[in-house]
Amino acid sequence: MNTSPSALLRLYLIRHGETEWALSGRHTGSTDIPLTPNGEDEARELGKHLKDIPFTQVLISPLQRAQQTYALVGLDQAPEIEPDLTEWDYGDYEGKRSVDIRKERPDWNIFRDGCPHGEMPDQISARADRLLARLCKLDGNIALFSHGQIGAVLAARWIELAVVEAQHFPLGTASVSIFTFDSHHPTVPVIALWNAAPHSLTL
């Protein structure tokens, strides 16, 4: 990924709150389901930690679970819909659990194998790279309201790893992660915070 880093750039990756499918482990790509009541509470709790951060821009996935999370977090900044923050297109695996998919494909790994009639690793990598290249032209604190597996891919690509390595970056619901650059080596991308739950945040 070819970027033009800004020493002032901090990307706050925020996964949406809990949904029924997230709770049951069903792959939720384009299915537009809302937060559970617990997911709404998670988002409100998250807002207590984010409300005082001076965000210069807020980008959100078009899907309602991300938009609900943004609304409940309660940031003052008007959001911009960013299609590249949409969750991985699971194709034939939409709504299925990994454990059930592996009954037919025992060694299936989305980050290596992709999804039939959905996105493949090279496609999701290109999408993540396109978004990160645009973000690296910005300054300040940028909030990104997104999803679990595209979030993992963004983390891997931020530090220039292959998409398959995204399997090592799980994200909980209503979590916050921060991507920035090393203050002593400003061309080196780093993950300053990963998968922090609302109750553990000290931002």
Number of residues in the chain: 203
Distance of CA 201 to the CA centre of its chain: 17
pLDDT of residue 106: 95
Q: Is the pLDDT at 203 greater than 70, yes or no?
A: no
pTM to 2 decimal places: 0.94
Say whether pLDDT at 157 is over 60: yes
Task: Give 68-98 pLDDT, tens digit per residue.
Answer: 999 999 999 999 999 999 999 999 999 999 9
Active site residue 185: no
Which CATH architecture group holds 10-200?
3-Layer(aba) Sandwich (3.40)
**119 is annotated as an active-site residue:** no
Catalytically annotated residue among 40, 87, 94, 119:
87
Which residue in the list 16, 40, 82, 94 is annotated as catalytic? 16
Q: Is the pLDDT of residue 6 over 60?
A: no
Confidence of residue 8 (pLDDT cuts 50, 70, 90): confident
3-state DSSP call for residue 8? coil
- Mean of all residue pLDDT scores within the chain: 94
SS3 call for 51: coil
Once rounded to an integer, what is the mean pLDDT over residues 153-166? 98
Residue 202 Cα distances to 13, 53, 88, 107, 169, angstroms: 15, 12, 30, 39, 21
Q: How far is CA 93 from the centre of its chain?
A: 19
Q: Which residue has the tokens 């790509």?
A: 29
Distance CA 60, CA 81 (A): 5
